[in-house]
Amino acid sequence: MFLFDSYRRGKVSLNNKVAVVTGAARGIGKAIALALAKAGANIAVTDIVPEDKAVGTLEEIRALGRKAEFFQCDVSSLESVNKMRDDVLAKMGTVDILINNAGITRDKLFKNMDAKMWRDVISVNLDSVFYCTSAFLPTMASKNWGRIISMASVVGQMGNIGQVNYAASKAGIIGFTKALAREVARNGITVNAIAPGFVETEMTAVIPPDVKEKIIAMIPMRRFAKPEEIANAVLFLCDDLSGYITGQVLALNGGMYM
């Protein structure tokens, strides 16, 4: 009880920590960046979009009195990620927390799915986790402290029609998380994943109303999650309160999959 009561009272403290959040210009990534900033972290906001698309995120973080810098990056490209790493370390000095949040969908029934749709999703969703983690892990290991949190999905746990590529990428993140957690625990680094269900974002806003009703009918809590609810889970996993939790997949799906 003490652990969760302390968390609810707002005692999570990330003062002077530096967090890299991929796909942070909007949606879940933005909510995560703001939650970490409210807890005291300085934020490296990364996204494939130009900086003008991330101005809102940057301004809100700075309004909290925290440092925020933007780094444009294509996380599916090793070269782009390595450049982003160099720029982040030059401007921010160090990195303590990595949130692998960037992701895309290219949905289609498998019989109609082509190789490009497969490769695009695997590259952005899964290859990026390898590239970004490889980029920042040495810095964390040198300090014997770090937090790596990657966005999986309920789809990676239960599968979904028309999302073979997406399900494979998210299931891959789960395996990645469990294996890496065993390797770096001795370095004071925890590695966890969050598997959200359906979340209220621009991506789900385009779901036709009749389809959305059918999805909600499968969710015991009868609603989609809010981005801030995902961000709160990330915040908990970043704090010392969760320092003995590693290699886990935290499911935030309203009971859709248990």
Pairwise CA distance, residues 240 & 258, whole Å: 27
3-class state of residue 18 by DSSP: strand
Q: In one letter, which amino acid is 250?
A: L
User: Around 235, how many Cα atoms within 13 Å sit in the side-chain half-sphere?
Assistant: 29
The torsion angles phi and psi of 38, rounded to 5 degrees, stand at: -60, -30
Q: CA separation (Å) from 172 to 68, 125, 167, 189, 199?
A: 30, 9, 8, 20, 21
132-163 burial, b for 16+ CB within 10 Å, e for fewer? bbebbbebbeeeebbbbbbbbbbbbbeeeeeb
E strand or H helix that includes residue 219: none
Marked catalytic residue, from 7, 166, 244, 257: 166
Three-state secondary structure call for residue 194 = strand
Alpha carbon dihedral 142, 178, 7, 144, in 10-degree steps, equals: -10
Residue 244 annotated in active site: no
Dihedral of the CA atoms 194, 126, 117, 231 (nearest 10)? 30
Please list the active-site residues: 166
